[in-house]
Structure 1
């Protein structure tokens, strides 16, 4: 497998922002200079030091450094302001100089984690080389993990950039013991990239100080002097982690031509020329969406009863069931066991008589709110653990939830060729791996993982698709998880990261081969590792795109933000071909990151939202005239600057429609209206720029813009949303949820006559045939294409009809089979069969099964036609409960569902292209208030089988008037294209709704939304 890269507009924008800062810089080849050869032997004169070569030929030890920036400070500032203005960023009043490094040119590029900032700065190198000839670049990173990730990115993007730029970069990792790489860095005229971590030049360790020392094995030169002679362009990856005074002073030793800083969270800002923050990334669907499985520990008053509610299972044919873990008394003691609970289950009895469960009788299981209620008034929500919950119990619950989340995602994504990875963060190696006198043994978490993994597979094995089952069966539990930690080079054992003054570079350098260097192998379905345990140090620098579940099995760490915790899983996933799964329609249905948190869902989400909000501090918060004035609207004919008059019009529009409050902050009303496509139109003079104006308004931050973070347990149920509670839908539901019984009278003799006629005219049974193949044995040596084990080749095949009677071998109850299939009496069926032509009946002997199936269909159609004219419906004392909207088991794969705004569920599943087009137009219509695709549990009884209509729709016909409609969608409106039974069900439905709703609800069949609107009028 090989990862594929493509040109993305949002990444190109980041590259062009850097390039355009130097508009006017003359393109030039790298400046040649004489490399300092170091101390010469005493018998030879020292080489003459020269600067520019002019026309003289370069000496053998020529070096190539970056050309100086030829732009004046004023020109450079003007370029930067132009770039900032083009993106509506705050403009720099002057060039911000980094006094600690002494560098005059400092550019900030803000890019959210997971959007490809490494790719962007690598591409920027090629772009700067093509436009201006600069070729010496140094990427400075804060850790070895990031260093390895960057170097891997250089490797896997090489062919991609070769196709685009016709060049390959020469890249290497700085190593004080391999200084020949510095010689090549200086003497090579092409693009050269050195990757270095701060410890390599900012540590007191002996090896790390070599960069500043005159070395005998480097001709008595200092490596830093050779580096600075190249006037390199420094690229700081995660600069906020390299702002110590000592580090910045060390960076000044590189004598950089400029410094470019790439991060999602800049701590110190210089000249920001590009911004792609968390809000932009999420709204543009450039990263995964986030869901959370929170775990809440709470006590039940007056009891020590341990109870954990994992979730609620629903079924279309059974009441909801609660998956619960409780304590049960067994012969060898009390154990915690998973049990499925139904209504009226008594925990005291189930536990084997444990007193702590007295009074715990299940009174209600609510699938809509994911809660389990007991007769004693206690209530537990999904994800809540009660009673005696120690740390070991909490970690087991977390591991179990992570495995379940993993398997749920894997079932959906496996057919699409997407491998699912789960990442566990732990606080010490001993929890995962321990060592005794002879060998390594699993730690506590490894043992728990294998137990829970086996338990989950055992529970799921009968529900899985055969191909996915075979995949799981081919992976042993002990082979599907692995630990990635520092390695002690002497003992070869896993160790925790070193603390204090000791450097961990030599320990870590070989630790992450699979996870960092062999990224493609880890993404392959042939690689068994799917669950990764690692120390928190892996939190930075590792960017495998297929992490779908993250679980932190560690104590809360206030120094680590929730945003950092989820950062390793935000990148969009890839399939087995290396293609990124970034289709705008399905991107967030496929790419969903689940975080299994050791705190409540609400607490985790609030903390994460706060982190995201704080990261957006640079965004404007006030939408006043001053903010809009001078901004740029990008149009097809060029950029349009917002004049004071246009700014006043935008401001008045917002204020007039209550889209801003008294403090000129954007209100929730604006974002709600925009989401529901109900925004008031802009004034006529602004309408040519509608899209651009709203984009400008959206750049003003408000809390309502923060990404929605769902509860993972609820996400998979495609839960009912607020549309279900709308009074229009409740009114419609109240009119159609009445149950009814039907009566029907028809002439049996007339039915028999019509059935005989239909069978004589239309019953054509396919004779049974058999295949004859003739072949010969061949010489396999002459036919290398033969499959293993094949020694014959087929030369001829023929098909012949079976002319003899089949029924003599198998006894058939023909009358009984037809009576069962058509719901007619045996007497009526016998009369029909005795009446048909002998030749027609004789077909039964040649293929009994086909005869029964086709005869039943034809008789059923005649029955349907005969009875529908005489059917009558009468209400009964029973109505459909709204529970039918939640008891139906949802489909897990949302990737092909339609994400709706006016539907009672968040997603709509369609059964055909025609139905998909219908729902797209239905959902976009301003006339539609709310609609629902009817659940299978809602049906109308008919003599030819239950009928389930497709859609219930409430239209807005005026300020207070509504039109209620039930629609059936068909690909064709022609009655000739509908089978008789289908047409009969539809005719029955017309009579049902006319009788039950007294014509307050219209019912009809449509083939498009346009036809529906014609009927609505």
Structure 2
């Protein structure tokens, strides 16, 4: 079986031509050039490529490409025109040479799965045919890509021979044990390609820099490469961007370099671009559908996994894997915290507010992390969900998708492959006696579903599955030889050899796996081997991780984007065949949002509206230095001691009452939520057609998506355009909800560069169309499934409750016994979820009990506050959060956190002439309350004259309601009740108000008395 290649794919030919045209004009007289020595270089030693010549050609290539993109109305593909030639300049590898070297680099951006390797291998032939260049070094960052390039060269060799009639092209895969081949590479007169990993030459200790008997003579191995003046091709250069890597690349002394990637970090001298959106739109890659298998407890809590604990005691740190939110986009990331850290500060997720690390346990095998609000995570349970249950749903979904898709593509002669990536090999291979949990589940689920597909009916699970894990034999001192499986990427020579061996095996099986003669169609591999699985007939990718997967989504889907082939290894171009299904261990929404964000990083999106610079808030020293302020603050710094009288019997009765509240206090049952939808990207292209009278303009808005749909939203009027004026809202005009925020702010037709600006900051120039890209998550369907019957090991619940609440062991035992009988079995199904809920219920009841029974007593001691730090001369605030407070504010501008605060400040405090001054308590100012209540930061401090002219000290808390019991959160009620007692002890008038009351300065109790009289 041999892969068939189409030599006439326009997008590939354009990428090749744009590189070849960079050197147009140098002629091919260099082809036969040789030095007096035996080395055959690309150019003689005394001849260089002129910078001005290269820049002129580069600009021509870029201008021509952008004109073609304009003609196609695909502005996101445009690459722009360079003003200067970017060159890579710096020192060579330390310890090898102190010389400075520079060379130009040219970048090609191509989406994964569109034939990037094919393009640069064919570019080599074109450069040789046109200019006589014959020495090329392909540098790759990993063994996986190294083996992949070797395989690509093998399967394209005959194809290129047919095109170029040239059988004199050799690829030499560098191996330090055959180092003499660098001399053959340097001296051969035909096309020579040296394939090498970066790790083979990025250290002075590498064999490439050492003398060897295998290469007699004056030159060291690397000097043979240098003297060829090689053209260096960088595959995935974003993984070779460190200073040391750049030094190593300069040490090869390239004539120039060509950089190929889908995910560049930098693109010097960009000559070609094929974006992900364009690749989807042209059906050059498979379309994506996502099945999200999300693990949740009842109530939909955001999952958190404990990955590891490092260090001990005060130095202990915990690594958690959970969702984070940045710019409204949720993604899965690792976060590292220590005792006292707040999870919300790292994730910015509302669900994580108040989750402060209280304790970290680092004993081996018993690692845990405890949060102040009661949640406890352990290494074995993570987020309280049974991993085998999640694995089962993922495997079942993968099998179901596999069978359904095989039925669909059978008539096309395509064999469907499914890939399972796992992060713990033991979960598959087991202990040598019993299979691992993943293999066991697969065998069971395959047995249940196999009769749905004719091809599977007489097959056993063993017939249809294969596994690829890097391993090596190891014999510990005094022990027996054992097999060691790699759970992480290789870090030493023995591990790298194990990886290399496994990648070689994967590549050898590439064609074989595509044949129906081979029964294997379910492949299990370690996540670290992902890059090796570049097989066109991968239609399902399932990640079976013990923790949430934090890999780049584009990396996860990259292995399955290539268009499928049939039994003759011919490409299939049917978009109903070419669908990749990702079975993710997170929700569809999370996966799709993260994937969208990764694509948008390369496509561009509507920017947030820039915030104009505003003068900082200035302190008004007439108030700050006043005797009234100083006296008020002196009273606020008085310390108070508190006593709490806990009535255990009453507390237990209150907790029992809470157990009866089934709506809010049901103990959690694990469940798995499965969501499914198609991943589609939609692009809007805005173009100004003309400016009209009365400050209006005609614009065209083209809507396209990656399913190939294209609509002119402007309709047929005004030559396919839309007449707009200031304050027009495109969302309403075009009935397009994705254009929310596109309200016309200004139409500037008389500027040198006329433009239209929208209120979200998006701007379209008369001379340059702009695009806005969003994901369009279509037909998303969800279903809930209860978790299986898995049971967890039970830890000491009473001890956990005692640690979390500081109640006595006896009281904790009584609380556990009081759990309703019908709720008790949930302890065995979900011990962490059960215990966390028990702690939560107990803490809530205890907090209410404390708030009702706390007593404060004044101390003579005073807190030491730095007033200059709390109230600096100037404060920079976000412009939209400012209220002008020139009349009575301690600052001439004051930050507001809500509309309620704004009403109170602007309509009451600023307009009341009896108010002497007021201030907002800075966030750094905290009053120490019991831990169960939490520290307190009041809202407003006010000095106001009463009817008799006496200056009264007031503290007011602005809330949505003035009725304490009606506050939204119980912890708010508790804090306010405790604050009332605290300030009462200080002799300060404290109250909760809505902020719009005329009598805001009178205590509610006093108001009620006034009404009586």
Report the TM-score, using the length of structure 2 for normalisation.
Answer: 0.50
Aligned 8 A contact 2:113 2:285 in 1 = yes
Q: How do 1:323-722 and structure 2 match up within 5 A?
A: 389-436=385-432, 442-458=435-451, 460=452, 464=453, 469=454, 471-488=455-472, 494-497=485-488, 500=491, 504-555=495-546, 560-582=551-573, 587-617=574-604, 649=689, 675-676=710-711, 679-681=714-716, 700-704=770-774, 706=775, 711=780
Shift of 1:268: 2.0
Provide the residue aligned with 1:13 in structure 2. Answer: 14
Aligned counterparts of 2:597 and 2:585: Cα–Cα separation in 1: 18
Aligned 8 A contact 1:117 1:262 in 2 = yes
Aligned 8 A contact 2:486 2:495 in 1 = no
Shift of 1:476: 2.7
The answer for unaligned runs of 5 or more in structure 1 is: 35-49, 52-60, 304-386, 623-645, 661-665, 687-693, 715-1017
Q: Render the CA deviation track for 1:655-710: whole Å, top value 9, x for unaligned.
A: 978757xxxxx687999997356653596799xxxxxxx9x999733124x47566
Aligned 8 A contact 2:690 2:699 in 1 = no
Q: Render the CA deviation track for 1:166-218: whole Å, top value 9, x for unaligned.
A: 113211210111123222212221111111111211257x6xx1110111222
Shift of 1:558: 7.0
Aligned 8 A contact 1:657 1:680 in 2 = no
Provide the residue aligned with 2:24 in structure 1. Answer: 23
Quickly say closer, same or farther: Cα 1:649–1:520, change in 2 above 3 A.
same
* The 10-residue stretch of structure 1 (666-675 or 69-78) with the greater mean CA deviation from structure 2: 666-675
Q: Render the CA deviation track for 1:606-634: whole Å, top value 9, x for unaligned.
A: 111111111224x8989xxxxxxxxxxxx
SS of alignment partner, residue 287 of structure 1: coil
Aligned counterparts of 2:34 and 2:143: Cα–Cα separation in 1: 33
Aligned counterparts of 1:426 and 1:621: Cα–Cα separation in 2: 38
Does residue 236 in structure 1 map to residue 208 in structure 2? no
Quickly say closer, same or farther: Cα 1:503–1:669, change in 2 above 3 A.
closer
Aligned counterparts of 2:43 and 2:407: Cα–Cα separation in 1: 53
Shift of 1:21: 1.0
Q: Which of 63, 83, 87 is equivalent to 1:85?
A: 63
Shift of 1:112: 0.4
Aligned counterparts of 2:520 and 2:179: Cα–Cα separation in 1: 37
Aligned 8 A contact 1:148 1:517 in 2 = no
Quickly say closer, same or farther: Cα 1:3–1:713, change in 2 above 3 A.
farther
Shift of 1:408: 0.9
Aligned counterparts of 1:63 and 1:526: Cα–Cα separation in 2: 47
Quickly say closer, same or farther: Cα 1:239–1:504, change in 2 above 3 A.
farther
Aligned counterparts of 1:94 and 1:114: Cα–Cα separation in 2: 32
Provide the residue aligned with 1:970 in structure 2. Answer: none
Quickly say closer, same or farther: Cα 1:589–1:677, change in 2 above 3 A.
farther
Aligned counterparts of 2:581 and 2:492: Cα–Cα separation in 1: 36
Provide the residue aligned with 2:113 in structure 1. Answer: 114
Provide the residue aligned with 1:218 in structure 2. Answer: 215
Aligned 8 A contact 2:419 2:541 in 1 = yes
Q: Render the CA deviation track for 1:560-586: whole Å, top value 9, x for unaligned.
A: 21111111111111000111012xxxx
Aligned counterparts of 1:217 and 1:669: Cα–Cα separation in 2: 60
Q: Render the CA deviation track for 1:495-527: whole Å, top value 9, x for unaligned.
A: 334555556331222113342233111111111
Aligned 8 A contact 1:66 1:136 in 2 = no
Quickly say closer, same or farther: Cα 1:301–1:227, change in 2 above 3 A.
closer
Shift of 1:300: 4.0
Does residue 136 in structure 1 map to residue 129 in structure 2? no
Provide the residue aligned with 1:381 in structure 2. Answer: none
Quickly say closer, same or farther: Cα 1:126–1:397, change in 2 above 3 A.
same
Q: Render the CA deviation track for 1:23-44: whole Å, top value 9, x for unaligned.
A: 111113446546xxxxxxxxxx
Aligned 8 A contact 1:667 1:702 in 2 = no
SS of alignment partner, residue 152 of structure 2: helix
Shift of 1:297: 3.5
SS of alignment partner, residue 189 of structure 1: coil
Aligned 8 A contact 2:150 2:173 in 1 = yes
Shift of 1:603: 1.5
Shift of 1:269: 2.2
SS of alignment partner, residue 99 of structure 1: strand
SS of alignment partner, residue 107 of structure 1: strand
Aligned counterparts of 1:684 and 1:702: Cα–Cα separation in 2: 22
Q: Render the CA deviation track for 1:874-903: whole Å, top value 9, x for unaligned.
A: xxxxxxxxxxxxxxxxxxxxxxxxxxxxxx
Does residue 166 in structure 1 map to residue 236 in structure 2? no
Q: Which of 51, 60, 72 is equivalent to 1:73?
A: 51
Q: How do 1:179-218 and structure 2 match up within 5 A?
A: 179-203=179-203, 209-218=206-215
Aligned 8 A contact 1:673 1:679 in 2 = no
Provide the residue aligned with 1:877 in structure 2. Answer: none
SS of alignment partner, residue 548 of structure 1: strand
Q: Render the CA deviation track for 1:933-961: whole Å, top value 9, x for unaligned.
A: xxxxxxxxxxxxxxxxxxxxxxxxxxxxx
Does residue 270 in structure 1 map to residue 271 in structure 2? no
Aligned 8 A contact 2:127 2:133 in 1 = yes
Q: Render the CA deviation track for 1:543-573: whole Å, top value 9, x for unaligned.
A: 1111100111115567521111111111111
Aligned counterparts of 1:165 and 1:620: Cα–Cα separation in 2: 46
Aligned counterparts of 1:673 and 1:507: Cα–Cα separation in 2: 44
Higher strand content, 1 or 2: 2
Quickly say closer, same or farther: Cα 1:683–1:214, change in 2 above 3 A.
farther
Aligned 8 A contact 1:293 1:711 in 2 = no
Aligned 8 A contact 2:489 2:528 in 1 = no
Quickly say closer, same or farther: Cα 1:509–1:296, change in 2 above 3 A.
closer
Provide the residue aligned with 1:967 in structure 2. Answer: none
Aligned 8 A contact 2:592 2:777 in 1 = no
Quickly say closer, same or farther: Cα 1:229–1:70, change in 2 above 3 A.
closer
Provide the residue aligned with 2:1002 in structure 1. Answer: none
Q: Render the CA deviation track for 1:465-498: whole Å, top value 9, x for unaligned.
A: xxxx1x3235431131111121316667643345
The answer for unaligned runs of 5 or more in structure 2 is: 67-78, 93-100, 302-382, 475-481, 609-685, 722-763, 784-1013
Aligned counterparts of 2:253 and 2:441: Cα–Cα separation in 1: 53
Shift of 1:76: 1.0
Aligned counterparts of 1:94 and 1:179: Cα–Cα separation in 2: 39
Q: How do 1:692-841 and structure 2 match up within 5 A?
A: 700-704=770-774, 706=775, 711=780
Aligned counterparts of 2:550 and 2:385: Cα–Cα separation in 1: 26
Quickly say closer, same or farther: Cα 1:685–1:448, change in 2 above 3 A.
closer
Quickly say closer, same or farther: Cα 1:503–1:246, change in 2 above 3 A.
farther
Shift of 1:251: 1.0
Shift of 1:67: 5.3
